[in-house]
Structures are given as structure tokens and as C-alpha cells.
Structure 1
Amino acid sequence: MTTRSEQTLNLPILDLQLLDNADTKAAFLQNLQDLARNTGFFYLTGHGISAERIHEIEALSRQFFAQDQAQKDALSMTNSPHFRGYSRVNEEHTRNKPDFREQIDIGADLEAVEFDAHTPLWLKLQGPNQWPANWPEFKTIVTAWQSDLRQIAIKLLRAFTLALGLPEDALDRFVTGKPNELLKLIHYPSAEHNQGSTQGVGAHKDAGILTLLLQDQVGGLQVLSKQDGWIDAPYVEGAFIVNIGEILELATNGYLVANMHQVVSPPAQVDRYSIAYFITPNLYAGEVPILELPAALQQLATGPQSDPLNPLLKNAGENTIKGRLRSHLQVTEKFYPEEYQRILNQRQQQEVTA
């Protein structure tokens, strides 16, 4: 089912429409199981999002970042204990180094949780978004995009559990109830402005369940291959790039792979834009279960790999907020001073032992 043009790519392409066809469903699920273990990344077509919808949100993203800096700063993430809003270039960090990109982070638009001494810290992630003033179209388009990608992500998650020989709803408790998700509109300025660094986003694994990425034709996303080192994941028209998050790696005891990836800053006089959707566990879901895989798959599940600079935690909510605290230090310093000091102490210890 692979075309000649697809053979030139470093990552496989899956057509989601094959999942809905009784004659092709079994082959789709087998293919999903194999590639998810071997690469953790693939292109997804047949998802039902039209070219018109894709062009609409891409244009919206460019329009947002073309605003005056003061208009973007009015939505600064430093206004939000829920880590929602706009971040300037170099304000987000990956593996303790600044990422050369600006972005706006938008989550499930919910009321903030009322806190007392017994409320888990990660429930502070629930809350309202910051929306541009006098621009209702922005909220309308973004909210519709979130809703549609959430349905695609849940459909994929259920396909993964079927592909692993498990009930379709094996992980439903992580994606039902109050939603927890993150949409990032992202702009990467060209490398000529980056003072010699090429880090658009540093090497990392995604902390959630699944990520769906829409990227433009500039490229820059790279995936770590055991055989070939860093390989490029170029633009494919109308396709999302899908990757597995740490929660799926943990739930399958390492059978599924949450692969390392990074973004290299675009070349001189070229800007890059992308739109990333992350479906993450319900903040109330508790600890991630280790699924009872069939015996043949269990033999290949050797446990999840944990980054010593960003350790994997079993509690889904704790694992989610851990990444936000470490990535957005200005927000952490303002709203989570104890955690901020702890992170600084950990970094100092790592520098001493490095």
C-alpha cells in the first residue's frame, strides 16, 4: 500500500480511512502496532479535516503572530497559573535550554478549581484560556479545531488498544470526563536571529498520550532513529505527524515507544509555523495502569525509558504539571515559588555532578 512518493520519506504513512473498512481494518491495526513500536512517529492521512480547514487555521496562526508585540504580550502566559497564553521567543525551555520560538498555548476552557491544603497541585492546570480581545473568530476557529482533533486522537487511541489485543476502551478513563488537552500555535523565526544556536525546540519526549502536528513546508522536525540518528520528518500535504507520548509508553510497559524529537530553527530569511495538538490524561485519572498485554507482546515490553533530566512519573496529573513547571519558569516563579526553588536546586545539583 506504499506508493513510490511515500518510499522517499523516513516515516511511514497511515490512512485512517482504512480503520473504518472491514476489509482493511486488520491490516491497519497490525501496521499501527508495528510502526508504533519501531518508530513512535508516523504521518496520518484520511483524518477527515479538509484542506480548507487546514488553510483556515494556518492563516489564523500567521495573523496572530503578525500582530504588534504589545497585542501578543497582553495574553502573556505569566498572567495565568494554568499555563495558558502567549510566550515570547526563548521563554519556554527544553532540557534546561531556551527554545527559539514564540507560541500561544490553549487548553480546555474550564473554570479554575477551588483550592485548599488538600487539593493536588496538578489540578491548578484546569482553568480558563486567554483569548484575544475583539477577535471572536480566533476563539471560534481554535475551539472547533480542538474539538475535531480530540475526536481523531481518541479514535487513534482506541485503535492502539485494539492493535495491542486489548479492549477498545482500555484507556478511556484517561480521555473521558473533564478534558485535558493543549493546542499550541507556534512560530519559529529564522536561525539568523538565534545567535548561533539551532535549537527551535530541544530534544524531548512528549509527556501526554498522543500528539498530532500540522507543519508547514519549511520543515525542521527531526526524529531520533536508533539506526540512523536524527532523521528529517518533512512536510506531507494534508497530513498530520502523529507521535506517541510517555503515558502510552508507560501504560504498555515500554512496548510502545515515545520517541525523542527536536526542531531545528529554519534557515536564514525563512520562518516556520506549526500547530500542535496534545491529548493528555484527565487530571483526575490518577496513576497510569500497566496494561495486561498478550504474552507475545509482554516479552518485548522491557519497561519505559525515563530521561534523567525529565523523569517519568506514574501519576498522570503529576507527570503533566511537572513538564509545565520545568518548561515555563517565569510562570512557575510567579505562581509556584516552592516548585521554582526546587527546580533551581535540582539544576544546580545536575551541574555539579555533570
Structure 2
Amino acid sequence: QGDPLTEATPVPGKQELPGWHDAVAGYYRNMEATGRALMRSVARGLHLEETVFDDAFAQGISTLRLLHYPVRTPESFLGATEQTHVMHDGREYYLLARAHVDSGFVTLLAQDGVAGLQAEARDGSWLTVPPIEGTLAVNFGKLLARWTGGRIQATLHRVIGDNQQRYSVPFFYEPSVDTVIAPLPMADSEPFEPVTYGDHLWEATTKFVEQKGIAHLRPARGIDRVAL
């Protein structure tokens, strides 16, 4: 039986959107290169060999998403059972994506010109991440926090909006599903039990509201079957 984490992604046919495949594949490769450079910079910052993570990402399952946040109306929230609005700087906004941390290593996010992404500061306040043309917003993920024993913290973030539609393109930089996430040779990091990235990812993502109820479709694989 295959692994749902490595299934092929349905995409439009080449005749339906001429040029789309080449454009998206090229962007994906560029984001992989950017993620690799950032990953090595993180390793150097932790006083580790800069290639310490390289093997894990050689057959990675990084994810590229093309997101559209449509204009919301009060009617679109009818029947909602969770929080739909927040106050920020004295104004009420729609809550388009609840506060969360991403599951992977790092996220590289391209935004359009519409603000909405916010990150939590140390004091618990929310800071707007301005969309600046030609730049990427970088969120540290839950995997990076786990792998470094808490030395690096995941970025808690959310998305708010008013009456404008918004587009964003997040690239989630991720290792292979069989990568064993084990403590790194660093002082002052919290110890933890090794786990495969696939098990880590499935446990984390099936807690999101859009994937609730499917956790049973992929039982934990464990590290015993992985060649260390």
C-alpha cells in the first residue's frame, strides 16, 4: 500500500493551461534552492556542519501551494462553529486562517500586494508582515523546532482580511518521509524521541480542521523499518 504523503498531486493538463507546468516547475526548483541555502545558513548558525541536513532533503517532499483568499462576506460565515473575526489596532477583521505553526522545516511565502499575514511577537501581540515586492516572508516550522530541540522556535502566524481578495504562494520546504528526526549534536537542546518525518507530518497536519477525521488512513510507520 502506498503512502498518502507521497501520492502524485492532481494538476491541470498541459493543454488546459499552456506554460503553467513549466512556470510552476521552475518556481519550485528555485524555491528548493532557496530553501537549501537557508537550511545551510541555519546549520551554520547552530555551529553544525552546513551540510548536516542535506541528505534528508535529497528526496524531499516539499509542497508548493497556490492560494486564493476570496472576498468574505458576513453570509459566508453562517454556520461557522469557530472564531471568525478578530480585533487588531482598533479595527475588526475577518479571520481567514487561524493562528498556527507550519509543519515543515521552513516556509517561503510570496505575497501579493494585499496585507494580511501576521506573526506573533514574544509579548503575544500580532505583527503585520508587510507584502514587499521581490521578497519572501520566512516562517520557521514545527519540524525545525523539534529537530533543534527547541533551540529555534516555530513561527506562530495567522491571516486576517477585510473586503479584499488576496493571493499568496507558500513553499513548504520538507525532507523525505523516511528521514529520521533525531537529536542533533548541540548543547542546551531539549532531548526527544526520534521520529520519521512522515509520522511527524501526518500527526501535525491531521489536526488541521480541513484534514480532521483522516488520521486513521496512515498508521504511524515508526523508525524500525528505516535504514539508519
TM over 0.5: yes
Measured after TM superposition, the shift of residue 235 of structure 1 is 1.1
1:201 aligns with 2:97: yes
Letter in 2 for 1:131: V
Larger radius of gyration between Structure 1 and Structure 2 = 1
Show the counterpart of 1:267.
162
Measured after TM superposition, the shift of residue 302 of structure 1 is 5.2
* Structure 2 segments unaligned to the other structure (5+ residues): 79-83, 85-93, 219-228
Measured after TM superposition, the shift of residue 132 of structure 1 is 1.2
Q: 2:172 aligns with which of 270, 273, 278?
A: 278
Q: Distance in 1 between matches of 2:210 and 2:135?
A: 33
CA RMSD in angstroms, aligned pairs only: 2.6
Given that 1:254 and 1:303 are in contact with CA atoms closer than 8 Å, whether structure 2 keeps it comes out as no
- CA, structure 1 residues 283+191, in 2 after alignment: closer, same or farther (shift >3 Å)? same
Show the counterpart of 1:160.
42
- CA, structure 1 residues 203+329, in 2 after alignment: closer, same or farther (shift >3 Å)? closer
Show the counterpart of 1:181.
62
Identity %: 25
Given that 1:201 and 1:263 are in contact with CA atoms closer than 8 Å, whether structure 2 keeps it comes out as yes
Show the counterpart of 1:232.
128
Show the counterpart of 1:214.
110
Given that 1:325 and 1:339 are in contact with CA atoms closer than 8 Å, whether structure 2 keeps it comes out as no
1:144 aligns with 2:40: no
Given that 2:183 and 2:194 are in contact with CA atoms closer than 8 Å, whether structure 1 keeps it comes out as no
- CA, structure 1 residues 329+229, in 2 after alignment: closer, same or farther (shift >3 Å)? closer
Given that 1:189 and 1:271 are in contact with CA atoms closer than 8 Å, whether structure 2 keeps it comes out as yes
Secondary structure in 2 matching 1:130: coil
Measured after TM superposition, the shift of residue 173 of structure 1 is 2.4
Q: Distance in 1 between matches of 2:5 and 2:124?
A: 38
Aligned length: 201
Letter in 1 for 2:170: A
Measured after TM superposition, the shift of residue 313 of structure 1 is 8.5
Secondary structure in 2 matching 1:149: helix
* Structure 1 segments unaligned to the other structure (5+ residues): 1-114, 305-311, 341-354
Show the counterpart of 1:128.
8
Given that 1:218 and 1:272 are in contact with CA atoms closer than 8 Å, whether structure 2 keeps it comes out as yes
- Superposition map of 1:75-94 within 5 A: none
Show the counterpart of 1:18.
none
- Superposition map of 1:195-344 within 5 A: 195=77, 197=84, 198-227=94-123, 229-264=125-160, 266-268=161-163, 270-286=164-180, 288-293=181-186, 295=187, 298=188, 301=189, 314-327=195-208, 329=210, 336=214, 338-339=216-217
Letter in 2 for 1:127: E
Q: 1:171 aligns with which of 50, 53, 62?
A: 53
Secondary structure in 2 matching 1:191: coil
- CA, structure 1 residues 147+337, in 2 after alignment: closer, same or farther (shift >3 Å)? closer
Given that 2:182 and 2:194 are in contact with CA atoms closer than 8 Å, whether structure 1 keeps it comes out as no
Measured after TM superposition, the shift of residue 190 of structure 1 is 2.3
Show CA shifts across 1:235-282 (max 9, x none): 112110011111111111101110210001x212x1111000001121
Given that 2:183 and 2:191 are in contact with CA atoms closer than 8 Å, whether structure 1 keeps it comes out as no
Q: Distance in 2 between matches of 1:282 and 1:138?
A: 26
Q: Distance in 1 between matches of 2:106 and 2:173?
A: 6
Higher helix share: 1
Letter in 2 for 1:140: D
TM-score (norm 1): 0.52
Q: Distance in 1 between matches of 2:101 and 2:215?
A: 26
Show CA shifts across 1:60-97 (max 9, x none): xxxxxxxxxxxxxxxxxxxxxxxxxxxxxxxxxxxxxx
Q: Distance in 1 between matches of 2:7 and 2:153?
A: 31
